[in-house]
């Protein structure tokens, strides 16, 4: 269908412009009036060649931000009274990401064939996680689809915000490690070997530190390529090991025990567990089905294994808090809050409160990690660089002393 660029009056003081898709110009005018707008001008809009030829935007990924925006806009349009198909048509015209536009068109085509929105969302598991179709299905059944869509958008926004906090906190320490390692590699492989050639003509005994650095530089200058090969083999082997279920489980379990990093990972996963479980329960998803979905959303496989075992125990009649109480990585405070929620019949609300509390705990854990990790890395790199520099300067001092 063609696109039409419009200018409308929303109220006596506010004018809006945009683009929508419609069968004809008159159909576009009718749709704008149904949305409560007063059309001022409308003309056919020639869209840029999206999806035609080789363009950078053709290969843009669908980010979590795009998905969150889709659910929030869809909820707002449906809350304003637009039918689902018309709301999707409006979003197709307004969405900038070409790949997201393709997905929205597939959703609209599926709904036009009589399928539900939940069924259409389930056709795209890489874009819409399992919990989204389940929540939408519950919303469609209960007649509260707009509210469920808003909850999904809020859930996605909070999850995305949590992810960016963790990634942002790790960027600077990782940058320090990479720059420090590269600097040491260049110094030992290419710079210091040229200085060491001068020391070989000295007739005086060299300091132990200098001899150590000379031995390292001699090895690095000759076998630096072997170091890179071994590093590449290690990285490839580690990735293949982590790709296995056993390897991923062992690495994730060990990561929870690493000082500084472990508490951050634990708090992030507990926040994700509580928010996902609470959101699903509040939208009418049974607890056993909700726990199965939670297992798939957790990143750490060790914690996911604990939640999976909880699912099995609850299916045998045990309560959630009793099953969690025997787990290693769920603190007593979390278990007690869930116990109160179960007893009062407000488990979803209790889960959301736990998630809010642990969002704050994540901020504190990240702050503690960065405040300790960054000075430690700077001191460690300073120690290595200082040792190398002193090892190179000591022979010069000795020669200067002998000359005097």
Give me the CATH number covering residue 76.
Answer: 1.20.81.30
* Residues in the chain where the model's pLDDT stays below 50: 47-59
Average pLDDT along the chain: 81
Question: Tell me: the pLDDT tens digits for 21-35?
Answer: 666 777 777 777 766
Distance CA 363, CA 132 (A): 27
| Same domain as 325, residue 232 | yes
- Total count of domains within the chain: 2
- DSSP-derived pairing of the beta strands 38-45 and 3-11: antiparallel
Distance CA 304, CA 310 (A): 10
* Residue given tokens 């409006």 in the structure block: 90
Model pLDDT, residue 48? 44
| Same domain as 244, residue 95 | no
| Same domain as 164, residue 125 | no
Residue-wise DSSP of 87-149: HHHHHHHH---HHHHHHHHHHHHHHHTT--HHHHHHT-TTTS-THHHHHHHHHHHHT-HHHHH
| Same domain as 34, residue 164 | no
Q: Read off the tokens for 209.
A: 């530190």
Q: Residue 9's domain spans which residues?
A: 3-144
Do 388 and 215 contact (CB within 8 A), yes or no?
Answer: no
Final residue of a structural domain among 144, 174, 199? 144
Final residue of a structural domain among 144, 165, 185? 144
DSSP H or E segment with residue 3:
strand 3-11
Question: Tell me: the pLDDT tens digits for 182-201?
Answer: 888 887 877 777 777 676 66
Q: DSSP 3-state helix, strand, coil percentages of the chain (rounded to 5)?
A: 75, 5, 20
Model pLDDT, residue 372? 83
| Same domain as 50, residue 165 | no
Residues with Cβ < 8 Å from 371, sequence gap 6 or more? none
| Same domain as 172, residue 70 | no
Distance CA 1, CA 21 (A): 6
Q: Read off the tokens for 215.
A: 């031995």
| Same domain as 85, residue 149 | no
Ranges of beta strands (E only) in 209-269 are none
Model pLDDT, residue 232? 93
| Same domain as 158, residue 134 | no
| Same domain as 116, residue 242 | no
| Same domain as 110, residue 166 | no
Model pLDDT, residue 342? 87
Final residue of a structural domain among 117, 144, 171? 144
Q: CA nearest 131: which of 298, 262, 246, 248?
A: 298
Q: Please give the model's pTM, rounded to 2 decimal places.
A: 0.63
Phi and psi at 263, nearest 5°, equal: -60, -35
Distance CA 303, CA 257 (A): 12
Do 6 and 32 contact (CB within 8 A), yes or no?
Answer: yes
Model pLDDT, residue 230? 92
Chain centroid, CA 89 distance in Å: 29
Model pLDDT, residue 51? 40
| Same domain as 207, residue 78 | no
* Side-chain half-sphere CA neighbours of 334 within 13 A: 27
Question: Tell me: the pLDDT tens digits for 216-228?
Answer: 887 877 888 888 8
| Same domain as 71, residue 168 | no
């Amino acid at each position: 269908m063609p696109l039409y660029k419009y200018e409308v009056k929303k109220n006596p003081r506010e004018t809006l412009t945009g683009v929508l898709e419609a069968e004809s110009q008159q159909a576009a005018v009718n749709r704008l009036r149904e949305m409560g707008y007063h059309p001022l001008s409308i003309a056919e809009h020639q869209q840029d060649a999206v999806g035609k030829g080789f363009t950078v935007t053709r290969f843009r990924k669908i980010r979590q931000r795009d998905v969150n925006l889709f659910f929030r806009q869809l909820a707002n349009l449906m809350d304003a009274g637009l039918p689902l198909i018309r709301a999707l048509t409006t979003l197709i015209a307004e969405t900038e990401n070409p790949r997201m536009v393709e997905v929205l068109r597939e959703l609209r085509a599926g709904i036009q064939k009589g399928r539900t929105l939940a069924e259409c969302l389930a056709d795209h598991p890489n874009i819409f996680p399992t919990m989204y179709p389940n929540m939408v299905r519950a919303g469609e059944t209960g007649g509260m689809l707009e509210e469920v869509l808003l909850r999904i958008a809020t859930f996605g926004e909070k999850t995305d915000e949590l992810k960016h906090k963790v990634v942002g906190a790790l960027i600077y320490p990782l940058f320090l490690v990479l720059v420090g390692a590269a600097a040491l590699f260049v110094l030992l492989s290419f710079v210091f070997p040229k200085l060491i050639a001068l020391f070989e003509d000295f007739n005086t005994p060299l300091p132990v530190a200098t001899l150590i650095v000379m031995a390292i530089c001699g090895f690095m200058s000759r076998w630096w390529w072997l170091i890179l090969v071994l590093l590449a083999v290690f990285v490839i082997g580690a990735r293949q090991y982590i790709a296995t279920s056993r390897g991923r489980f062992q690495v994730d379990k060990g990561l929870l025990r690493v000082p500084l990093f472990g508490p951050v990972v634990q708090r992030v996963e507990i926040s994700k567990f509580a928010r996902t479980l609470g959101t699903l329960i509040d939208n009418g998803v049974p607890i056993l089905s909700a726990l199965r979905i939670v297992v798939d959303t957790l990143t750490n496989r060790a914690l996911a294994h604990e939640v999976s075992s909880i699912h099995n125990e609850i299916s045998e009649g045990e309560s959630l808090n009793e099953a969690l109480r025997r787990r290693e990585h769920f603190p007593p405070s979390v278990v007690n809050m869930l116990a109160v929620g179960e007893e009062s019949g407000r488990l979803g609300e209790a889960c959301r409160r736990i998630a809010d509390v642990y969002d704050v705990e994540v901020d504190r854990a990240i702050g503690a990690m960065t405040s300790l990790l960054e000075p430690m890395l700077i001191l460690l790199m300073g120690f290595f660089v200082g040792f190398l520099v002193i090892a190179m300067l000591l022979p010069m001092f000795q020669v200067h002393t002998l000359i005097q």
